[in-house]
A and B are shown apart, each in its own frame.
Chain A
C-alpha cells in the first residue's frame, strides 16, 4: 500500500503552493535537471531547510545530497529520459539532520512534463 494518496498525486501538476502546504507529506516539484521549483512546508520542516533556501537550488546535488546516487537521482534521470516515472521505495536521510526513515516516491506527469519528489515519514 502506498504512503501517498493517489487522488492527491493526480492533482499535483495543477497544485498551488497552498494546496501543497496543506498535505501531510513532503512535496518537491523539480525541473528535468533537478532544480527545485516548489518546496512545501512539510519538507522544509522535516529537512531543516527553509523554503527560500531550497527553491532555485538543485534538489539532488545541493539540498538533499544523500539522494545524489543511482538509487534516487539515477532513477529520476532515467525516468525523465523515458518520459515516464512513478516509483516508490524506502530511504534513510542522514545529511545534517536527525536520521529519518522515509518513503520516497518519484513521479512524473507526462502530460505537463512536471516532476515531483514526495517524502513521507516511515512508521
Chain B
C-alpha cells in the first residue's frame, strides 16, 4: 500500500469522526456552536493534509510533509498539554476548551503515528521532549 492510500484510508476512516464526536459530547459546559467550531478546526487540519496528499506526486516528499505536519501538530499539542496542566497543578482548574482541543488533536496525532515510520516518530518525540539544553554553552552566552 502506498503512503498516499494509507493516509487517505486512515484519515478518512469514519471512526475518526465518531471518536471526535464522542469526545466533544463529553464537553457538558459547551454550546453546540463551540463544539462545532472545534470540530471544524480539527477537520480543517485533516483536510489540509488530505489536500496535499492528493496533489503530491512524490512519495518521499509526502513522507517528509507528513513528518513536518506531525512535528508541527505534536509541538502544538505539547504546548497545550503543558498550559492545561500548569493551570491544573497551580489552581486545580483549567481551560476546558483547551482540554478538548488537546484531546481531539491527539487523535489526529495517533493516526499520523500509525502511518509514519516508528523510528522517525520516536526520534521526533525525543527531540520535542527536550528541544533545548538546560545549560547554555559558553559560546552562545558570549554571542
Contact A96 B85 (CB under 8 A): no
Contact A69 B100 (CB under 8 A): no
Contact B89 A90 (CB under 8 A): yes
Contact B99 A96 (CB under 8 A): no
Contact B125 A96 (CB under 8 A): no
Contact A90 B81 (CB under 8 A): no
| Interfacial chain B residues near A4, Cβ < 8 Å | none
Cβ of A19 under 8 Å from chain B = no
- Least distance between B101 CB and chain A CB atoms (Å): 9
Q: In whole angstroms, how far apart are the Cα atoms of A2 and B26 in the complex? A: 27
Q: DSSP class of B's interface residues: helix, strand, loop or mixed? A: helix
Contact B89 A94 (CB under 8 A): no
- Least distance between A121 CB and chain B CB atoms (Å): 14
The stretch from B33-41, B43-51, B58-66, B103-111 touching chain A is: B103-111
Contact A94 B26 (CB under 8 A): no
User: B92 contacts which of A90, A95, A96, A99 (Cβ < 8 Å)?
Assistant: A90
| Interfacial chain A residues near B82, Cβ < 8 Å | 69, 71
Q: In whole angstroms, how far apart are the Cα atoms of A89 and B92 in the complex? A: 9
Instruction: Type the 1/0 row for A87-103, where 1 means its CB is closer than 8 Å to any CB of B.
Output: 00111101111110100
Contact A92 B106 (CB under 8 A): no
Residue numbers of A with Cβ under 8 A of B are 61, 65-66, 68-69, 71, 89-92, 94-99, 101
Instruction: List 13 contacting pairs A-B, 8 Å CB cutoff, sorted by A.
Output: A61-B125, A61-B129, A65-B125, A71-B85, A91-B89, A92-B84, A92-B88, A94-B81, A94-B103, A94-B106, A98-B22, A99-B23, A99-B102
